[in-house]
Each structure stands twice: as C-alpha cells, then as structure tokens.
Amino acid sequence: MAGGFAKDGAVQDQIDATIEDAVQRARSQLPSGESLAECEECGAVIPEARRQAVPGVRLCVVCQEAEDSEKAAVSAYNRRGSKDSQLR
C-alpha cells in the first residue's frame, strides 16, 4: 500500500530499478575480448584454465583478488538501510 501521492507498487518499482541498475553496472564491468596470457599488473602467467573460464581476463588470480577487495571497500550501496543514511 502506497501512501501520499505515490501509486501502488511504487516502492517495489524503485527496488526493481535499483537492482536492474546494479546488474547493468556489474555486467558493464565484466571483461570482454580475448584473454591475456600474462597479467597486466604483475606480468605473471595466467593459467589456460582461467583464460577459458573467464573470457577477456586481464589479471591473475592474486591481482584480481586485490582489485576486488579494493572495490568492496568502496561500495556505494547502503547495506544497512537506515533512514538517516538514505536521506543523505
């Protein structure tokens, strides 16, 4: 039930739009093209199995884990959902 001037289902529409935006952002960050034989960060050889499993891979596992942990530390999403943080 929506209140005020919002139509019924407006909250769910907003949730769906937020999820769709996140999915599109994640898809846009997926590697594409031909995989590299060597990591572009450290120069280590990227195993053939990794190159086949992840098309367009550019980093070795160690460098990819480091990059992923950096991105996770700067997440733009509010996981708590408190009203104070949503009003900013």
Cα distance between residue 56 and residue 71, in whole Å: 19
70 part of a folded domain:
yes
- Model pLDDT for residues 23-46, shown as the tens digit of each residue: 999 888 887 888 999 999 999 999
18 part of a folded domain:
no
CA-to-CA separations, 37 to 2, 29, 33, 56, 79, in angstroms, rounded: 54, 20, 13, 10, 37
Cα distance between residue 62 and residue 69, in whole Å: 11
How many structural domains comprise the chain?
A: 1
17 part of a folded domain:
no
pLDDT for residue 55: 87
pLDDT for residue 82: 54
39 part of a folded domain:
yes
Contact 66, 59 (CB under 8 A): no
Q: Which domain does 45 fall in, by range?
A: 34-74
83 part of a folded domain:
no
53 part of a folded domain:
yes
47 part of a folded domain:
yes
68 is written with which tokens?
């992923």
Backbone angles phi, psi at 11, to 5 degrees: -65, -45
